[in-house]
Each structure stands twice: as structure tokens, then as C-alpha cells.
């Protein structure tokens, strides 16, 4: 059995995707999303929210779609794999953790009674709707 490396994240783009080309001509798009987490403080029962930022990398046709379709502020769901790599700068080893995406899709905004057409099906936005994962 092989190991499992699969990540699902939802968040908002903090900037437009940055698109580049490798020396061999492959298109790569990079962007970051802000992922929010809500939690309750035990002492006061107060709800707090924290955000963290995750780098996303897309390649080939998905990089083209990313460049064409997504802009700063868009709410997206990312499915991909965790990637940890290192490099050296002036003798100092640095580490980077990001997600290499297999799929990136829009998520509907929380507006009641609005229909949103996605890549795979039509959905009506409802704040009680859960995002299914299979």
C-alpha cells in the first residue's frame, strides 16, 4: 500500500496568481490563500478567529486556468498534495512548505438565493450546505 498525501483547503486568494515559465516552457502559477480557523477560548467561551497563509502551486493546464480565472479575494477550494522542499542561500538551508494543486475551484459566496454554476455541476448557495469530500 502506498502512503497517502492529500490535502483539501478552502480560503481566499491574498493576491493575483504569479505566472512563470520553466526553461522547458512549462507554465507554473503560484498564489497564496488565507485559511481561517475559528476556535473558542476555554476561559471566556469567546469565539476567536485566526488566519494562516498557504502557498499553492499549479502546473500546465491548471496553471492556465488559474491565471485566467482567479483573482485576489476569490474564495476557492484547493485539492492537492503537501510538498516540502529545501534550498540553500549563502550557505543557509531554508525550507518551503506548499501545496501542489491537482484541482482549484471557485466556492460560492454566502449570498442567499443565488445560483452559482461550477465546473462540474450547478449549485444553489446555502449557508448550511456542507462541502462534500469524496
Contact 94, 85 (CB under 8 A): no
- Report yes or no on 57 lying in a domain: yes
- Report yes or no on 131 lying in a domain: no
- Report yes or no on 132 lying in a domain: no
Is residue 20 predicted with pLDDT exceeding 80?
yes
Is residue 25 predicted with pLDDT exceeding 60?
yes
- Report yes or no on 134 lying in a domain: no
pLDDT, residue 125, reads 37
pLDDT, residue 78, reads 97
Cα 3 to Cα 121: distance, rounded to the nearest angstrom? 31
Contact 56, 31 (CB under 8 A): yes
pLDDT, residue 110, reads 64
- Report yes or no on 27 lying in a domain: yes
- Report yes or no on 95 lying in a domain: yes
Cα 72 to Cα 31: distance, rounded to the nearest angstrom? 9
CATH of the domain at 71: 2.40.50.140
Q: In this predicted model, what pLDDT tens digit does every residue of 31-90 receive, in sequence order?
A: 999 999 999 988 888 999 999 999 999 999 999 999 999 999 999 999 999 999 999 999
Residue with C-alpha cell 493576491? 15
- Average the pLDDT over 10-17 and give the result: 97
- Report yes or no on 51 lying in a domain: yes
Q: In this predicted model, what pLDDT tens digit does every residue of 80-128 receive, in sequence order?
A: 999 999 999 999 999 999 999 999 999 876 654 443 333 333 333 333 4
Look up the pTM and report it: 0.74
- Report yes or no on 81 lying in a domain: yes
Into how many domains does the chain fold? Answer: 1
Cα 23 to Cα 39: distance, rounded to the nearest angstrom? 45
What domain range includes position 42?
Answer: 7-124
Amino acid at each position: 500500500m502506498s502512503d497517502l498525501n492529500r490535502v483539501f483547503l478552502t480560503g481566499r486568494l491574498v493576491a493575483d496568481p504569479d505566472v512563470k515559465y520553466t526553461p522547458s516552457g512549462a507554465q507554473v502559477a503560484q498564489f497564496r490563500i488565507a485559511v481561517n480557523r475559528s476556535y473558542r477560548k476555554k476561559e471566556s467561551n469567546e469565539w476567536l478567529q485566526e488566519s494562516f497563509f498557504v502557498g499553492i502551486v499549479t502546473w500546465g493546464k491548471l496553471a492556465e486556468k488559474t491565471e485566467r480565472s482567479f483573482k485576489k479575494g476569490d474564495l476557492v477550494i484547493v485539492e492537492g498534495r503537501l510538498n516540502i522542499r529545501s534550498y540553500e542561500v549563502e550557505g543557509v538551508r531554508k525550507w518551503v512548505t506548499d501545496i501542489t494543486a491537482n484541482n482549484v475551484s471557485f466556492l460560492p459566496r454566502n449570498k442567499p438565493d443565488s445560483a452559482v454554476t461550477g465546473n462540474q455541476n450547478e449549485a444553489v448557495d446555502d449557508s448550511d450546505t456542507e462541502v462534500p469530500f469524496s
